[in-house]
Each structure stands twice: as C-alpha cells, then as structure tokens.
Amino acid sequence: MSDDRKNGASMTGLHDSEKRAGLAASVERHLSAYFAAHEGALPASGLYDRVLHEVETPLIVLALEACGGNQIRAAALLGLNRNTLRKKMTERGIALPRSRSPRRQREEGEQRAQAKDKR
C-alpha cells in the first residue's frame, strides 16, 4: 500500500494517466504545454521561481485543509518547520482555513448519521 493510501490521501479527481504515472508526469505534461504555448520562444526569465510558487501555494493550502488548519501537523506533513510554513503562508498571502467549532463538527456528524439511517 502506498504512503498516500496509508495516510488516507485520495487520488480522486486525477486522470487515469496521472494515477499511473504520478505527479512528475503530470508536471512534465503541464510544463511541456507551457513551453509549447510560447511557440518556439523561451518564457521570461525566473521560470524556476514561478513554477515553485505555482506548485507551493496550492500544496500549502491543501496541506492546511487536510490537517484542519493545524499548522504543526501541516508543517510535519510537508516536512517543514512550523515557522518556515508560517513564513511561506505570509509571503503568499495564505490565510488559515476556517475551522469548524467542535459543536458544529458534532452537529454535522449527527446530520450525516441521520441521513445514513434514512437510507
């Protein structure tokens, strides 16, 4: 079983080819299209930083969402120090995801259980 599966990560939303080939193949496909869009010319300089920014921002957002906004857990998931995560969040204008109160989480759980019982 892959580490992603052990951690409960879902591969839903990915194309079959991406599921088989992985993230590197998906990135390569997108970068190839990006270069092709320049019709033989080179993209503007600073491409490396732009690509890292484009990948890092949604990665941080998704990690925070997966960890319920817990920065320590998100930092551990990403292999970063919490302070480094906070710095990156500040640099990119990433706000913490709105967390639900324990009461709201309990209510949502009860609603799901009731809906399941009705089926």
Q: Which domains does the chain have, with CATH numbers?
A: 3-118 (1.10.10.60)
Q: What is the pTM of this model?
A: 0.62
Q: Is residue 100 very low, low, confident or very high in pLDDT (cuts 50, 70, 90)?
A: low
Enumerate the H helices of the chain as residue ranges.
3-6, 16-21, 23-37, 47-66, 71-78, 82-92, 102-118
At 85 the pLDDT is 97
d(Cα 1, Cα 84) in Å, to the nearest integer? Answer: 31
Q: Tens digits of per-residue pLDDT, 13-37?
A: 666 655 666 888 989 999 999 999 9
Q: Is residue 4 very low, low, confident or very high in pLDDT (cuts 50, 70, 90)?
A: very low
Mean per-residue pLDDT of the chain:
82
Q: Tens digits of per-residue pLDDT, 77-88?
A: 999 999 999 999
d(Cα 80, Cα 66) in Å, to the nearest integer? Answer: 16
Mean pLDDT across 42-68: 94
